[in-house]
Amino acid sequence: MASRTLSRLTKALLAPALALGATVGLASAPASAAVWNTCDQWGNTSLNGYTLYNNIWGSGAGSQCVWANSGTQWGVWADHPNTGGIKSYPNSKKVINKTITSLSSLTSSYNVTVPSSGAYNTSYDIWDTDYDYEIMLWVNHNGAVGPLGTAQGSVTLGGHTWNVYKGSNGVNEVFSFLRTSDSSSGSVDILPILKWIKDTKKWMGNETIGDVQFGYEITSSSGGLNFTTHNLTVSGG
């Protein structure tokens, strides 16, 4: 079972804005013509309202490079060893900065191509501005990976049926929603999920939602695997 640790949150918050542009080792064909690419551990850039992160944060990681034509069309090539523990979470982030009750909507659509081997999940990672709560929405997963916490049953929300898990990494509460069948494309109505956590389960209060991230939480990708986000939209107001 994959675990989520303080190191991930700390590194995500403290990672410097590094000089970008290292491209040696990029194996994904679209990268050669991409608007932006990097193999830097904390490489990041902003494109049309989204922020892209390479975000290699776990111990024992191998090589990884990210390319982007926009904040919504991008991909990753990763070669991480076949060992346990999350190695990275390359992602695209949209900042919301609105309380749950002030949101009239919060929706997203995705279209991805992921490998048939390796160990990973494709997921949204949603944070409040104080980083007290983490809400993960897994739309697909493969290999020996699993959510933090204990099972809380299943629920149908936001257009999908999810298996729900609740836990803590010692720093923040983690609520994980795993789609009951894998999906490579679709849309998610995120706001009903947040309201269910707040109003039905009362696991958190009227938090200000800060980041809505979407990406690939990679545990292993030995030999080099490609993950492609053909399209991503996040809209909220």
- What is the C-alpha to C-alpha distance for residues 59 and 95, in angstroms, rounded to an integer? 27
Q: Which amino acid is at 10?
A: T
- Residue-wise pLDDT tens digits, 120-137: 999 999 999 999 999 999
Residue from 8, 7, 1 nearest 213 by CA? 8
- What is the C-alpha to C-alpha distance for residues 20 and 5, in angstroms, rounded to an integer? 27
- What is the C-alpha to C-alpha distance for residues 237 and 215, in angstroms, rounded to an integer? 22
Predicted TM-score (pTM) of the model is 0.89
> Domains in the chain, start-ordered, CATH in brackets?
6-236 (2.60.120.180)
Which whole number is the average pLDDT over 75-100?
A: 97
- Residue-wise pLDDT tens digits, 51-68: 999 999 999 999 999 999
Confidence band, pLDDT 50/70/90 cuts, at residue 33: confident
Taking the CA atoms of residue 129, residue 131, residue 137 and residue 143 in that order, the dihedral angle to the nearest 10 degrees is 150
Which residue has tokens 């990976």? 145
User: Which string of b and e fits 136-157 if b means at least 16 CB within 10 Å?
Assistant: bbbbbbbbebebbbeebeebeb
pLDDT-above-90 percentage for the chain: 85
pLDDT score of 26 more than 90: no
